[in-house]
Amino acid sequence: MTQMVSEIRRDNEHEIRAGKKEWFGLFTVLALVLLVAMDGSVLYLAMPKITSSIVPTADQSLWILDIYGFVVGSLLVAFGNIGDHYGRLKLIMCGAVIFGIGSTTAALSTSPEMLIISRAVMGLGGATLLPSGLAILSNLFLNPKQRAQAIGIFAATFAAGFAIGPIIGGFLLSRFEWGSVFFINIPVVILFLIFSPVVLKEVKESNYGKIDGLSLMLSFAGILLFTYSLKTAAAYGLSLNQLLIGFLGLVGLFWFVKRQNHIRYPLLDLSLFKDRVFAIAIATGLLSLVVWSASGYLTGIYLQSVLNFDVFTAALLALPGAAVLTATCIWTNKIVDRIGKKNALVLTHLLISAGVAILLLTTAEYGVAAVIASTMIAGVGYGLSFSLVAEIAVSAVPPERAGAAASLAETSNEIGNALGITVLGSLAAFYFRIAGPNIAGTLNETLNHSELPSKVIMHAQQAFVGGMHIAVGVASILTLIVGILAMIWVPKTIAE
Report d(CA 102, CA 121) in Å as an integer.
Answer: 5
In terms of Cα–Cα distance, which of 463, 113, 124, 418 is closest to 296? Answer: 418
DSSP secondary structure of 316-354: HHTHHHHHHHHHHHHHHHHHHHHH-HHHHHHHHHHHHHH
Per-residue HEC secondary structure of 442-459 comes to: CHHHHHCCCCCCHHHHHH
Contact in structure between 381 and 352 (CB atoms under 8 Å): yes
- Given a cut of 90, whether residue 465 has pLDDT beyond it is yes
Residue 264 has a CB neighbour count (10 Å cut-off) of 7
206-212: Cβ within 8 A, 24+ apart:
206/84, 206/85, 208/81, 208/84, 208/85, 208/265, 209/81, 209/264, 209/265, 210/81, 210/85, 210/265, 211/78, 211/81, 211/82, 211/85, 211/265, 211/267, 212/259, 212/263, 212/265, 212/266, 212/267
Contact in structure between 152 and 331 (CB atoms under 8 Å): no
Position 77 scores a pLDDT of 66
Which one-letter DSSP state was computed for residue 365?
Answer: S
Q: What is the pLDDT of residues 412-447, one digit of tens each?
A: 776 787 678 778 988 998 899 899 998 887 888 888
Lowest mean pLDDT: which of 129-133, 215-219, 328-332?
129-133
Which one-letter amino acid corresponds to residue 431?
Y
In this prediction the pTM is: 0.75
Specify the DSSP element, H or E, that contains 475: helix 454-489
Position 360 scores a pLDDT of 97
Position 40 scores a pLDDT of 66
In terms of Cα–Cα distance, which of 167, 205, 114 is closest to 323? Answer: 167
- Given a cut of 70, whether residue 124 has pLDDT beyond it is yes
Report d(CA 463, CA 432) in Å as an integer.
Answer: 5
Position 291 scores a pLDDT of 94
> Which pLDDT band, with edges at 50, 70 and 90, does 57 fall under?
confident
Cα torsion through 444, 446, 450, 452, rounded to 10: -120
Position 223 scores a pLDDT of 80
Q: What is the pLDDT of residues 35-48, one digit of tens each?
A: 877 776 677 677 77
Residue 263 has a CB neighbour count (10 Å cut-off) of 13
Range of 233-242, 337-346, 433-442, 474-483 with top mean pLDDT: 474-483
